[in-house]
Amino acid sequence: MFNRRLFLIILIAVLSCICAYAATRCNKWVGSTEVYGKLCTDHGFGSKADNCAVCGKWVGSAKIYAKLCNDHAFGSKKDDCVVCGKWVGSSKVPAKLCSDCGFGSKADNCARMK
């Protein structure tokens, strides 16, 4: 009985950590900017290029490209990795969103992680 309760407490703690992590997306409305986020050579390597830039889930057939707000698309910032902020260099891998993170108007929210 005690172990079951402890397990639930740990489960809730872990889940709230995941939620807090997911909430660090910039999320600002991109407005009329048509700048798409990129991934660095780490985050865009191989099959990782098909992971959602926000939650890490496999995007599957969803072909939603992550957009950047005016702040994060400004100057050289548009060449920073959406996930880790590292300069992408010559990497031209576009950041994608899964069907959850890119659903409806969410696709027009900045996907850059803070």
Round to whole Å and give the CA distance between 71 and 67: 12
* Between 57 and 78, CB nearer to Zn ion: 57
Q: How far is the CB of 38 from Zn ion (least distance, A)?
A: 9
Among 54, 64, 66, 93, contact with Zn ion (rule: CB under 5 A): 54
Q: How far apart are CA 86 and CA 32, in angstroms?
A: 25
Which residue number, 78 or 86, has a Cβ lying nearer to Zn ion?
Answer: 86
**Smallest distance, Å, CB 9 to Zn ion?**
27
Question: Residue 81 corresponds to which amino acid?
Answer: C
Q: Which residues of 30-54 are buried (b: 16+ CB within 10 A; e: fewer)?
A: beebebbbbbbeebbeeeebebbbb
DSSP SS3 for 59: coil
- Binding to Zn ion (CB under 5 A): which residues in 55-114? 55, 57, 69, 72, 81, 83-84, 86, 98, 101, 110, 112
Binding site for Zn ion (CB under 5 A): 26, 28, 40, 43, 52, 54-55, 57, 69, 72, 81, 83-84, 86, 98, 101, 110, 112
